[in-house]
């Protein structure tokens, strides 16, 4: 979808657009398992980190209606593992709180601090996420006018209703909002289906545009600095 004028607002994906998500999750899972060794040793002995992930995946298969709520899936799976091993499932609450604290300890891509400051100075920016990252806890809250998350909304990307709700929250029509993200199916095809122009942040140059696809991003960029430069060149 073409863009000939500056958009009125931006929606911005978080995980894998502003930081690599899996290193943060893996570190958080390691801290969680160490905590279980101290507080629920039977569970820690029976479930290593891959086994705990398998429980979470099983909970997800059993509860597809909760697929949008990664926090519920994680805490419920911890409680299940605890109960299966004779440990107190009430421990799932502090265990999950510890996991969440460390899940927010992300390492930004090098371009993000300066580029996000540029973008947020020029446009209202709304965070869109299917995950459970918290921009305030991460220290980026000042750059966003708000967050729309799948957990609270009840569904997430690529559903058109999610993007439409984001536009309503910004007080803009879909064609006035530029969506930015790294995932082709969730971000680019999702935005296209909802009538938003998009930018594909392709941090892995080996990725190619899927074929066939009706979605056409306004730009494909390697980082957010390139995006900020492209937006600066647009007329008001």
Name 221's bridge partners. 201
d(CA 179, CA 152): 20
d(CA 171, CA 164): 10
Of 122-131, 172-181, 202-211, which gets the smallest average pLDDT? 202-211
Annotated domain spans of the chain: 9-20+108-232, 22-103
The 10s digit of each residue's pLDDT in 68-116 is 999 999 999 999 999 999 999 999 999 999 999 999 999 999 999 999 9
- Choices 2.40.50.140, 1.20.120.1600, 3.10.20.30, 3.20.20.70: CATH for 22-103: 1.20.120.1600
Token pair 């990307």 is found at 157
Query: Span 145-157, mean pLDDT?
Result: 95
Strand residue runs (E) in 1-69: 9-13
The 10s digit of each residue's pLDDT in 215-236 is 999 999 999 999 999 999 998 8
pLDDT at 133 over 90: yes
Q: What is the CATH number of domain 9-20+108-232?
A: 3.40.50.1000
Biggest alpha carbon distance in the chain?
A: 64
Residue 1's pLDDT is what? 72
Neighbouring residues of 18: CB distance < 8 A, sequence distance ≥ 6: 12, 106, 108, 109, 112, 116, 140, 224
Are the beta carbons of 176 and 8 closer than 8 angstroms?
yes
pLDDT band at residue 187 using 50, 70 and 90 as cut-offs: very high
The 10s digit of each residue's pLDDT in 32-68 is 999 999 999 999 999 999 999 999 999 999 999 999 9
User: Is there a common fold for 9-20+108-232 and 22-103?
Assistant: no
């Amino acid at each position: 979808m073409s863009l000939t004028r500056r958009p009125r607002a931006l929606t911005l994906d978080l995980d894998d657009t502003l930081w690599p998500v899996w290193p943060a999750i893996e570190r958080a899972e390691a801290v969680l398992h160490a905590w279980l060794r101290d507080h629920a040793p039977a569970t820690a002995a029976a479930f290593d980190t891959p086994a705990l992930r398998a429980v979470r995946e099983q909970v997800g298969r059993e509860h597809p209606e909760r697929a949008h709520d990664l926090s519920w899936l994680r805490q419920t799976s911890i409680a299940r593992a605890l109960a299966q091993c004779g440990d107190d499932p009430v421990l799932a609450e502090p265990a999950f709180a510890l996991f969440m604290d460390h899940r927010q300890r992300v390492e930004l891509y090098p371009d993000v601090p300066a580029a996000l400051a540029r973008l947020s100075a020029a446009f209202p920016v709304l965070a869109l996420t299917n995950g459970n990252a918290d921009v305030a806890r991460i220290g980026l809250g000042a750059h966003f006018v708000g967050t729309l998350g799948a957990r609270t909304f009840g569904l997430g990307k690529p559903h058109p209703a999610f993007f439409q709700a984001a536009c309503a929250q910004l007080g803009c029509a879909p064609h006035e909002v530029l969506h930015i993200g790294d995932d082709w199916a969730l971000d680019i095809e999702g935005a296209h289906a909802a009538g938003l122009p998009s930018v594909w942040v392709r941090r892995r140059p080996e990725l190619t545009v899927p074929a066939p696809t009706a979605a056409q991003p306004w730009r494909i960029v390697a980082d957010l600095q390139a995006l900020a430069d492209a937006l600066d060149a647009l007329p008001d």
